[in-house]
Amino acid sequence: MAINTYFQLLPYKKDDVEFHTNFREIALKEIERINRIIEDMLNLAKPSHSNIRCIDPHCCVMDTINLLKHTAADKGAEITAALDEKRCQIIADEDKIKQVLINIIQNSLDALPENGCIQVNTRIVDTISEYRKLANEHPGRIFFSFAPHQLDQFNKQYFVIKVSDNGTGIPEGKIAHIFEPFFTNKDKGTGLGLAIVYRIIKDHEGCIYLESKEGTGTDFSIGLPLNGMNPLDITNHK
C-alpha cells in the first residue's frame, strides 16, 4: 500500500520538509479513506453505503497520483499526468473513484518493467460510441457501458480517465477474464481489484474500455457521465 512506502521512507527523509507536509496530508486522507472502507466492509451485508456528491474528478486523479508516486519511484517507474484543460464536476463517490484509480494504477505498477512509465490522461468526450466500435472491430479489446438507456451512451458527455502503461500487457486469451472475481496471475494477488473496479463503475453508470497488447502495454479507460453538467472552460474562470 502506498502509505507503507511513506512510512519506509520516513527515516531517510528526516529533514525533508516537503516530504513531511505531503506525508501528513496523505496520511490523514488515507486514514479517513481506510476507515470508510472498513465501515463499508462491515456493512457489506447491508445495502452499500455511498457518499455521492458533486466532485472535481481532476482532484481525484491528482490525489491518487500523489499517493502512488513514491511506490512508483521505488520501482524506478514514473507516473505522469496530462489533464484536459477544461475543468468539470461529476456526481460521484470520491472515495470509490479513488479506489478505482488505485486498483488500476497498482495493476500497471505490478506489470511494469524497471524504468517503466505510466501515463494518466483525462478528457471530456461527447460520445462513447467510438469505444464500442473499436471493441467490436478488434478482438482483445473490451468495452462495457452501464448507461441505463442505450441512447445515453451516444448523446451524453463523459469524463474519461485513461491509464496507460508500457508493462507486460495482457494475453488476448486472458483479457475476457480479468474482471472475474479471483482471477489473478500474481502470487499475492486476490484477483478482486478489477472486480471492485467493475462494480464501482457499474454503480456510477459509467463505462470501461481496455486495450492491451502482450509485450507492449495496456491502456485502461474509465468513463464517468457528466450528468448533463457543462464542462467549465478553465480559461473563463481565472
Ligand X SMILES: Nc1ncnc2c1ncn2[C@@H]1O[C@H](COP(=O)(O)OP(=O)(O)OP(=O)(O)O)[C@@H](O)[C@H]1O
Q: Of the two residues 117 and 192, which places its CB atom closer to ligand X in the complex?
A: 192
Q: Which residue is nearest to Mg ion (CB)?
A: 193
Q: Does 193 bind Mg ion (CB under 5 A)?
A: yes
Q: How far is the CB of 197 from ligand X (least distance, A)?
A: 7
Q: Of the two residues 19 and 183, which places its CB atom closer to ligand X in the complex?
A: 183
**Residue 139 interface partner, choices Mg ion, ligand X, none, CB cut-off 5-8 Å depending on type:** none
Q: Of the two residues 158 and 179, which places its CB atom closer to Mg ion in the complex?
A: 179
| Long-range contacts (CB closer than 8 Å, 24 or more residues apart) made by 135-140 | 135/209, 138/211, 139/172, 140/172, 140/175, 140/211, 140/212, 140/213
The residue range among 1-9, 170-178, 190-198, 227-235 that interacts with Mg ion, by the rule CB under 5 A, is 190-198
Interface residue list for ligand X (CB under 6 A) = 103, 107-108, 111, 165, 167-170, 178, 183-186, 189-195, 218
**Residue 191 interface partner, choices Mg ion, ligand X, none, CB cut-off 5-8 Å depending on type:** ligand X
Q: Of the two residues 119 and 184, which places its CB atom closer to Mg ion in the complex?
A: 184
Side-chain half-sphere exposure of 145, counting CA atoms within 13 A: 20
**Is the Cβ–Cβ distance between 214 and 203 less than 8 Å?**
no
Q: How far is the CB of 86 from ligand X (least distance, A)?
A: 27
**Residue 206 interface partner, choices ligand X, Mg ion, none, CB cut-off 5-8 Å depending on type:** none
Angle at 115 between CA 112 and CA 119, to 5 degrees: 65
Which residues lie closer than 8 Å to 136 by C-beta, 6 or more apart?
143
DSSP code at position 12: G
Q: How far is the CB of 56 from ligand X (least distance, A)?
A: 26
Q: Does 107 bind Mg ion (CB under 5 A)?
A: yes
Q: For the chain, where are the E strands, in sequence order?
A: 52-55, 78-82, 90-93, 117-125, 141-145, 158-165, 207-213, 217-225
According to DSSP, the residues that pair with 80 across neighbouring strands are 119
The whole-angstrom separation of Cα 238 and Cα 229 is 19
Chain contacts with Mg ion (rule: CB under 5 A): 107, 193
